Amino acid sequence: MSAREIRRQAVRKFRCPRCGKPVTQTITFTRTPSLFDVNASGRPKTTADYRAELAAEATAWMAAKEPCERCTEARLRT
């Protein structure tokens, strides 16, 4: 297994729960394979294992609906 990063980009589009404006957010999840990372069976993780982890992380991130930056900044100022 090579030492290059495995990446997954996720995009979520939703309406801000506070102001109702459309929000688009993008994030890139990365993993760097290591020979010391093992899966549940005790064997070194494969590329498919890393991709499954990234997919699960991206799915959890896309489910969360956070307020837009403008609402967050307004909340911090008060």
Task: Note down the domain range covering 53.
Answer: 6-77
State residue 57's pLDDT score: 95
Q: Is residue 54 part of a domain?
A: yes
pLDDT interval class at 71 (50, 70, 90): confident
State residue 78's pLDDT score: 61
Exposed, middle or buried: residue 18 (CB in 10 Å: 0-12, 13-18, 19+)?
middle
In DSSP terms, which residues pair with 10 in a beta bridge?
A: 27
Q: Is residue 1 part of a domain?
A: no
State residue 66's pLDDT score: 82
Query: What's the number of domains the chain is made of?
Result: 1
CB 65 within 8 A of CB 17: yes
CB 5 within 8 A of CB 31: yes
Q: Is residue 36 part of a domain?
A: yes
Q: What pTM, to 2 d.p., does this model score?
A: 0.75
Tens digit of pLDDT for each residue in 8-63? 999 999 888 888 899 899 999 999 998 888 888 889 999 999 999 999 999 999 98
Task: Provide φ and ψ at 72, rounded to 5°.
Answer: -65, -45
Task: Provide φ and ψ at 25, rounded to 5°.
Answer: -125, 140
